[in-house]
Amino acid sequence: MTESISPTMKMIIEELQALSNAEKREVFPRFFKAGKGEYGEGDLFLGVTVPNIRTVAKQHKDISLDVIRELMLSKWHEVRLCALLVMVEKSKKKDETLRKQLFDLYLAMSERINNWDLVDLSCRFIVGEYLLDKSHERLYQLAQSQLLWDNRIAIVSTYAFIRKGQLEDTYALSDLMMHHPHDLMHKAIGWMLREAGKRNPERLYAYIMERRADMPRTMLRYAIEKFSPKERAILMKRM
């Protein structure tokens, strides 16, 4: 894909390049599974840490949606993350029209939100918090998408609901995607179940007791991390 050369995009890329770390640039392709046949295959990295990317994003939080769209088309992982973090900053504004535009742009470009960190650092704010007082049907559509990243957006976005004590969608989406073929989803679902369990441990315990024989092992381990050793031992037993 051709890199945009708009002046603003050029400036942001140069700022990120100036923060590049040679060691991180070497490690990131392995850490984010960018090798042949892996889920992040072909992605390219500048070697910039998240705190540094956040700093650049905050400095450019007033860029237009058109520039954000350009950044999202970048071949560089950190440039796309910077665009997403700008969107997060913009989503904090009490501007319903802007939040709807960000929501629509985000989901229209979900193929470019193509690794777990990109999803996890952004979807709760741009998707989850936007949908708090609206229909949640879009999450169920994302859960049934053929795109892994749409599926992860669906479940991780419920973190916004969990923080408000709304647990129904987390459990419903967990049931819907319980047998997802990818380990990244097992981890994400287990993570959200664990967060739901912090709000209502009894409900999570009962949920797992009913499904423990059917639940992928990774998902189960993530979900039960906050229980006592005795409770974990019981929940880990297969029926």
> What digits encode the pLDDT tens for the residues 66-121?
999 999 999 999 999 999 999 999 999 999 999 999 999 999 999 999 999 999 99
Q: pLDDT category, 164, cuts 50, 70, 90?
A: very high
Rounded to 5 degrees, φ, ψ at 146 are: -80, -10
pLDDT of 2 reads: 45
pLDDT of 237 reads: 86
Q: Kindly report the length of the chain.
A: 239
Q: What is the pLDDT of residues 7-29, one digit of tens each?
A: 999 999 999 999 999 999 999 99
| Residue 1 in this model has a pLDDT that exceeds 80 | no
> Model's pTM, two decimal places?
0.95
Tell me which residue of 235, 237, 214, 238 sits closest to 223, measured CA to CA. 235
pLDDT of 4 reads: 45
